[in-house]
């Protein structure tokens, strides 16, 4: 689904407004009401929210919006992903076009720039069907230059853009304790702030559109690099034959400690839990974005390059779908040593 160049260039502003208004037709609204009779009466003054992308993080975020009472239309490439939300009172949209027509705010939470651009720019995408004045909040971690392009295209069609990628782990999203890095104009930030408050506990307005995603790349460079360093340290400790719990206690008690080692590793790789909160594949993708952005800005990042290639090795060894803390297991496998594991029931002091 490609972006139709004539959709922006051939239509004057007044006609564009009328075109969007025409798409939000009475029969379409009546169809939604028929599928969910209380759709129009629940919290009528509140903007209807569309949420696209119900993966490990997105589903929890959408559920927290619904718990807070927001009228919600949801959509995922896997229709089964929406069932828990439908049970909580959300409506499952048939497609992006239906969702965009019905909602004043559309949220995307997708794996990469490719998926975001397909959903937003496609012939049946958000830009082709959203009404004038609608706001798109992309919460994905994508190429900042893609954010800049999408923002420009949205603005040309009298739509607003916000980038608000997510910090912290999937478990935090489950509990409504996420952190958000927001790039937005002041008015748009105020418009989305109640939604962010429903999904998380910490909100940083980092600056104009594009600032959120760029801040996220800086954050993820540090987080993924620390994951790599922790993995190497644990592999070395295993080679030395050290007691893993004593080694961790020392690390926790010095300036070597870090949030990944204290919060994520003991609940994931160190107890043999490989199911992802954040996969090695996604960590590799984010490091690719970091390097691309650094190259474009002429900033040398030799550590990022080394970490990126280590995660490439882990993916080649079929660790890609595992939690990114499992880089420790990948390194142990590469060194032909047993993976580091703490005793059952052990907790950081």
Count other Cβ atoms within 10 Å, centred on residue 69.
12
Q: Is 216 a catalytic residue?
A: yes
Among residues 81, 121, 79, 115, the alpha carbon closest in space to that of 97 is found at: 121
Residue 45: partners with Cβ closer than 8 Å, 6 or more residues away: none
User: CA-CA distance, 239 to 216, in Å (whole number)?
Assistant: 34
Residue of 190, 125, 193 lying closest to 157 (CA atoms):
125
> Residue 175 in contact with residue 201, Cβ under 8 Å?
no
If one counts every other C-beta atom within 10 angstroms of the C-beta of residue 258, the result is 18
CB neighbours of 243 closer than 8 A, spacing ≥ 6?
none
d(CA 195, CA 95): 22
Structure tokens at 320: 């890609």
Contact of 182 with 162, CB cutoff 8 Å: yes
Written as six digits, the tokens of 103 are 């909602």
Going by C-alpha positions, the residue among 337, 335, 319, 298 that lies closest to residue 227 is 319
* Cα distance between residue 187 and residue 10, in whole Å: 29
Bridge partner residues of 191 (DSSP)? none
For residues 329 and 339, the answer to whether their CB atoms sit within 8 Å is yes
Task: Tell me the sheet residues that pair with 74.
Answer: 51, 92
d(C-alpha 262, C-alpha 346), whole Å: 12
Backbone angles phi, psi at 321, to 5 degrees: -85, 0
Catalytic residue among 216, 246, 268, 347: 216
The per-residue DSSP string of 273-291 comes to --S-SSBHHHHHHHHHHHH
**Catalytic residue positions, numbered:** 216
């Amino acid at each position: 689904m490609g972006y139709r160049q004539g959709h922006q260039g051939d239509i004057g502003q007044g006609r564009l407004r009328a075109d969007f208004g025409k798409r939000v037709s009475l029969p379409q609204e009546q169809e939604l009401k028929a599928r969910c009779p209380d759709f129009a009466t629940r919290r009528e003054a509140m903007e209807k929210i569309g949420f696209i992308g119900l993966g490990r993080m997105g589903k929890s975020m959408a559920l927290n919006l619904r718990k807070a009472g927001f009228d919600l239309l949801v959509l995922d490439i896997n229709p089964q992903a929406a069932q828990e939300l439908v049970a909580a009172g959300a409506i499952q949209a048939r497609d992006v076009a239906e969702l965009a027509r019905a909602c004043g705010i559309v949220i995307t939470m997708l794996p990469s720039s490719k998926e975001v651009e397909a959903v937003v720019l496609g012939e049946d995408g958000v830009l082709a069907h959203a009404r004038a004045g609608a706001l798109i909040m992309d919460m994905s971690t994508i190429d900042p230059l893609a954010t800049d392009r999408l923002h420009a295209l949205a603005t040309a069609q009298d739509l607003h853009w916000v980038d608000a990628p997510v910090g912290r782990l999937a478990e935090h999203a489950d509990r409504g304790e996420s952190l958000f890095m927001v790039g937005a104009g002041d008015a748009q930030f105020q418009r989305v702030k109640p939604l962010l408050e429903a999904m998380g506990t910490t909100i940083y307005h980092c600056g104009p559109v594009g600032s959120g995603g760029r801040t996220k790349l800086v954050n993820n460079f540090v987080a993924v690099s620390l994951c790599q360093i922790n993995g190497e340290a644990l592999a070395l400790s295993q080679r030395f034959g050290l007691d893993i719990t004593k080694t961790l206690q020392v690390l926790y008690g010095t300036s070597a400690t870090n949030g990944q080692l204290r919060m994520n590793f003991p609940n994931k790789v160190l107890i043999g839990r490989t199911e992802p909160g954040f996969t090695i594949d996604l960590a590799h993708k984010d490091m690719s974005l970091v390097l691309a952005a650094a190259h474009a800005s002429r900033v040398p990042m030799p550590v990022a390059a080394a970490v990126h290639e280590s995660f490439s090795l882990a993916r080649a060894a079929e660790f890609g779908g595992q939690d990114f803390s499992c880089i420790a297991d990948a390194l142990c496998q590469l060194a032909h040593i047993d993976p580091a594991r703490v005793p059952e029931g052990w907790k950081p002091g």
